[in-house]
Chains A and B, each alone.
Chain A
Amino acid sequence: MVDTLVFIVAAVVCLVGALGVVLARNPVHSALMLVMTLFGVAVQFVAQEAHFLAAVQVIVYAGAIVVLFLFVIMLLGVDRAQSLEMSFLPVQRWAALLFASGSLAVVVALILAVGEPVTGLEAMGGALGSTDDVRLLARSLFSDYVYAFELTSLLLVIAVIGAVVLVRKPRETDAVVAEDRGDA
């Protein structure tokens, strides 16, 4: 019973947050709504005994990524509201509508057709085992996925270097930039 309650509350939080991200006019609000969703998802992780991932979700996503978003928003000062009007891509709205309704229809069809356990497997049945998930995850990461794991570290380094290069104030090309601004 508690499980159900937790699920419903967290799901509502998630969905409201997600809709908020999409519909809020102010990007700051969007970012805060994203935090809400992320917390909801973290709760769902906990409910499924993925404690480590829940922690990472909060620390990395809410703690780092969203903060990064907010920093950028503040840095650029784009906190003014933007309308949800389509600019000049008229297909866009209808396409989005089609995508949303189509996907929803598929989900609904699946639930109706398959009924309870969507996967056809016993729901919430097989536990991951007696050991806790952190130990399991660590063993998996440092044995089967060790190369992928090492590669992700490389990826992060590349991303950092890329970001530094991207946002570096251009020195030699200052004149060109100024010219471009004048044109715009």
Chain B
Amino acid sequence: MVELVWLVPALPLIGFVLLLAVGNSLGEPRAGWLATTAAGASFVVTLVVFIGLLGRDSHSGERSYELVLFKWLPAGSLQVDAGFLVDPLSITMALFVTGVGALIHLYSIGYMHGDPKYSKFFLYLNLFLFSMLMLVFGNNLVVTFLGWEGVGACSYFLISFWHQRESAATAGKKAFVTNRVGDWGFMVATFAIWSALGTVTYTEIAQSPAMATATGTAISLLLFVAAAGKSAQLPLSVWLPDAMEGPTPVSAMVHAATMVTSGVYLLVRMNNVLTDDALLIIAVVGAATALFAALCAVAQHDIKKVLAYSTISQLGYMFLAIGSGAYVAAIFHVITHAFFKALLFLGSGSVIHGMGDEQDMRKMGALRLAMPITAATFIVGWLAIAGVPPFAGFWSKDEILLAAWEQHNIGPLLWGVGLVTALLTAYYMSRQVILVFFGKQRWDEEAHPHESSWTMTAPLCVLAGAAAVGGVINLPLVKDWLVLEHFLEPIFNHPHHFSSGTLTKIALAVISVAAGIVGIFFAVMAWLTKRIPNDRLEPEFLENAMYVDATYARVVEGIGTSGFQGTANVDERFVDGAVNGIGKLTLKIGQLIRPAQSGYIRNYAVGVAMGALVIIVLLTWGLLR
């Protein structure tokens, strides 16, 4: 059954091709159903492959299946196959990518209702799903890079989907350009790995002997640059908040659940080349990003911007986990985050939809009465992300904090940052829930907020279920219940083990839960009961994301503009001069030899005859001599 893996990306690709061919004539809603069917079928096939993989013995390395489709680049000692690698890691990623993806496809049928580019939206979604699956299933860095670029391109298309809005077009460009930096890292890392190890195939990289420390660290950092670009880590985080210009299902799927986690996937996949020095840097950057984004999220007014910063913050958590060596915890958080963040985004989309495209939380309030299902599911998502047990977020977050605590250099510091972030997360999410669903009504009666159709609420309910109980895949209570950890074990050369005693673990968990409750309590005091004055809780400094964006803009404007001006001058004087000169020269020569092109076919025949004669004479000459 594992051999069916090629069908998983093939199905969305078929959907894409069909939509490309007949999407417009299918129209609404059939184009949406076609895409949803493709995504759903892909999920079913993934399940089949997963079951097939489970049927194999977990110890003898049989749970790693490579399917080589064809030789892609057979160039000397560089042999790159187009192939798939099915192992616990890729199948885990693929399961939630296709599962959450299919739900979001279904959701989009209702959300995109009435859009003039309805079928094109689903075409992009299917192409995205295909690229993402190529990224996940690729058996070497080059195939993964193909998917990596594919999801980048789709992300660009989808962010600027409503490109009539200038802000959307700009946001798309910003995301694309920022991602370029990461792609540069990916490419250079691939080159470096090839020259150091002579292979780019994952299975062979995993079996290679350790590299020299300097090389290993350089490669690790380059891979981290790649991951930071795709997963919006500092200092490349600026594109993700702007990416909220895209339709909300896109934010949920591309910019929360799947694409942005591909950086985490890449680092976990390459876990055995990451060196200790690089891991420390990754941990520090991850922790810094988590704190930075959580602070920014505190002061946002746009319902989606809060979630965007929250996504960056949670991605920071994942990198903190990787940096602490707890890859399983990172993947665990990727999965639970996919559930609850997709849920929150889709819930916010439902709110925006119901409010008639209103995104400002200051104009919402008391919406729980108007849209009960959305409110209920959103609250589940809130509890999950705030780290309230037993919801999914608690388990994964707790494991990351434990891993950070045990980090051997600056563990307690990382743990402290993580804890503050957890507190802030609980606070800003509570603020959002209160502003949107509780308190007083702050919208006009004309807004007529209403509950969304079943295609939109059904995914919400499924995701809410997953966000509520998703933690069961890796419960730390009993050793046998660590299903995910045991499942993923074969892909690590050196599995990570927690060394703390049970008492420490429980103490840390209690502290993190307490932090979450403090955050929630504070938010309730400030925004619901108004016991604490809330007029100074949204500083402008944070609302503008600490002016990181503005600083970038200023740097680019200052140094950048003068540099560009100089380049432009050089271009005008020398390059243009040379180009124009060549053009004029060509024109002159053309005028000169133009009469040769007489238009008379017999003149040309003479030319051929004379040429033939010359050749014959020369040949004869050679023959006779």
A and B touch in the complex (CB under 8 A): yes
Chain A residues in contact with chain B, CB under 8 A? 89, 91-92, 95-96, 98-99, 102-103, 106, 109-110, 113-114
Contact across chains for B602 and A99 when beta carbons are under 8 A apart? no
Given A89-B600, A92-B602, A113–B613 Cβ distance below 8 Å? no
Tell me whether B499 is interfacial, beta carbon within 8 Å. Answer: no
- Distance in angstroms from B259 CB to nearest chain A CB is 46
**Roughly how many angstroms separate A110 CA and B620 CA in the complex, as a whole number?**
7
How many B residues, CB 8 Å from partner?
12
The chain B residue with its CB closest to the CB of A101 is B613
Query: 5 tightest CB-CB pairs across the interface, nearest first?
Result: A95-B606, A99-B609, A102-B613, A113-B624, A106-B620
Tell me whether B617 is interfacial, beta carbon within 8 Å. Answer: yes
- Distance in angstroms from A114 CB to nearest chain B CB is 8
**Roughly how many angstroms separate A96 CA and B620 CA in the complex, as a whole number?**
20
Contact across chains for A98 and B600 when beta carbons are under 8 A apart? no
**Roughly how many angstroms separate A113 CA and B624 CA in the complex, as a whole number?**
7
**Roughly how many angstroms separate A91 CA and B596 CA in the complex, as a whole number?**
13
Q: Which of B602, B616, B617, B623 contacts A89 (CB 8 A)?
A: B602
Q: Which of B613, B620, B624 contacts A99 (CB 8 A)?
A: B613
Contact across chains for B624 and A109 when beta carbons are under 8 A apart? yes
The chain B residue with its CB closest to the CB of A92 is B602
Contact across chains for B620 and A89 when beta carbons are under 8 A apart? no
Given A109-B620, A110-B620, A113-B624, A103–B613 Cβ distance below 8 Å? yes
**Roughly how many angstroms separate A98 CA and B600 CA in the complex, as a whole number?**
19
**Roughly how many angstroms separate A94 CA and B556 CA in the complex, as a whole number?**
70
Which A residues are CB-close (under 8 A) to B624?
109-110, 113-114
Which B residues are CB-close (under 8 A) to A110?
620, 623-624
Tell me whether B561 is interfacial, beta carbon within 8 Å. Answer: no
- Distance in angstroms from B531 CB to nearest chain A CB is 83
Q: Binding site of B, secondary structure by majority: helix, strand, loop or mixed?
A: helix
Given contacts A89-B602, A91-B603, 10 further A-B contacts (CB under 8 A): A89-B600, A92-B602, A92-B603, A95-B606, A96-B609, A99-B610, A106-B617, A106-B620, A109-B624, A110-B623
Which A residues are CB-close (under 8 A) to B623?
110
Which B residues are CB-close (under 8 A) to A96?
606, 609
Interface string of B587-602 (1 = CB under 8 A from A): 0000000000000101
Contact across chains for A92 and B613 when beta carbons are under 8 A apart? no
Contact across chains for B617 and A102 when beta carbons are under 8 A apart? yes
**Roughly how many angstroms separate A92 CA and B601 CA in the complex, as a whole number?**
11
Q: Which of A91, A98, A114 contacts B613 (CB 8 A)?
A: A98
Given A89-B600, A89-B603, A95–B610 Cβ distance below 8 Å? yes
**Roughly how many angstroms separate A113 CA and B623 CA in the complex, as a whole number?**
10
- Distance in angstroms from B596 CB to nearest chain A CB is 12
A-B contact pairs, 24 of them (CB 8 A): A89-B602, A89-B603, A91-B603, A92-B602, A92-B603, A95-B606, A95-B609, A95-B610, A96-B606, A98-B610, A99-B606, A99-B610, A102-B613, A102-B616, A102-B617, A103-B613, A103-B616, A106-B616, A106-B617, A106-B620, A109-B620, A110-B623, A110-B624, A113-B624
The chain B residue with its CB closest to the CB of A112 is B624
* Residues 604-625 of B at the A interface (beta carbon under 8 Å): 606, 609-610, 613, 616-617, 620, 623-624
Chain B residues in contact with chain A, CB under 8 A? 600, 602-603, 606, 609-610, 613, 616-617, 620, 623-624
The chain A residue with its CB closest to the CB of B616 is A106
**Roughly how many angstroms separate A89 CA and B613 CA in the complex, as a whole number?**
20
- Distance in angstroms from A25 CB to nearest chain B CB is 18
- Distance in angstroms from B231 CB to nearest chain A CB is 51
Which B residues are CB-close (under 8 A) to A114?
624
- Distance in angstroms from B303 CB to nearest chain A CB is 59
- Distance in angstroms from A104 CB to nearest chain B CB is 11
- Distance in angstroms from A103 CB to nearest chain B CB is 6
The chain B residue with its CB closest to the CB of A109 is B620
Contact across chains for A91 and B616 when beta carbons are under 8 A apart? no
**Roughly how many angstroms separate A95 CA and B609 CA in the complex, as a whole number?**
9
Contact across chains for B606 and A91 when beta carbons are under 8 A apart? yes
**Roughly how many angstroms separate A99 CA and B623 CA in the complex, as a whole number?**
20
- Distance in angstroms from B611 CB to nearest chain A CB is 11
Q: Counting chain A CB atoms within 10 Å of each CB, which of B610, B613, B616 scores highest? A: B613
**Roughly how many angstroms separate A98 CA and B613 CA in the complex, as a whole number?**
9
**Roughly how many angstroms separate A99 CA and B611 CA in the complex, as a whole number?**
10
Which A residues are CB-close (under 8 A) to B616?
102-103, 106
**Roughly how many angstroms separate A114 CA and B620 CA in the complex, as a whole number?**
11
- Distance in angstroms from A91 CB to nearest chain B CB is 7
- Distance in angstroms from B138 CB to nearest chain A CB is 35
The chain A residue with its CB closest to the CB of B606 is A95
**Roughly how many angstroms separate A98 CA and B612 CA in the complex, as a whole number?**
12
**Roughly how many angstroms separate A98 CA and B606 CA in the complex, as a whole number?**
10
- Distance in angstroms from B595 CB to nearest chain A CB is 12
Which B residues are CB-close (under 8 A) to A102?
613, 616-617
Which B residues are CB-close (under 8 A) to A95?
606, 609-610
Which B residues are CB-close (under 8 A) to A89?
600, 602-603
- Distance in angstroms from B620 CB to nearest chain A CB is 5
The chain A residue with its CB closest to the CB of B603 is A89
Which A residues are CB-close (under 8 A) to B620?
106, 109-110
**Roughly how many angstroms separate A2 CA and B620 CA in the complex, as a whole number?**
33
**Roughly how many angstroms separate A106 CA and B602 CA in the complex, as a whole number?**
23
Which B residues are CB-close (under 8 A) to A92?
602-603, 606
**Roughly how many angstroms separate A76 CA and B231 CA in the complex, as a whole number?**
75
Which A residues are CB-close (under 8 A) to B609?
95-96, 99
Which A residues are CB-close (under 8 A) to B610?
95, 98-99
- Distance in angstroms from B609 CB to nearest chain A CB is 4
The chain B residue with its CB closest to the CB of A102 is B613
**Roughly how many angstroms separate A123 CA and B540 CA in the complex, as a whole number?**
101
- Distance in angstroms from B143 CB to nearest chain A CB is 33
- Distance in angstroms from A119 CB to nearest chain B CB is 11
**Roughly how many angstroms separate A99 CA and B610 CA in the complex, as a whole number?**
7
Which A residues are CB-close (under 8 A) to B600?
89
**Roughly how many angstroms separate A98 CA and B602 CA in the complex, as a whole number?**
15
- Distance in angstroms from B451 CB to nearest chain A CB is 58
**Roughly how many angstroms separate A27 CA and B610 CA in the complex, as a whole number?**
27
**Roughly how many angstroms separate A95 CA and B610 CA in the complex, as a whole number?**
8
- Distance in angstroms from B571 CB to nearest chain A CB is 47
The chain A residue with its CB closest to the CB of B609 is A99
- Distance in angstroms from A4 CB to nearest chain B CB is 27
**Roughly how many angstroms separate A114 CA and B625 CA in the complex, as a whole number?**
11
Which A residues are CB-close (under 8 A) to B606?
91-92, 95-96, 99
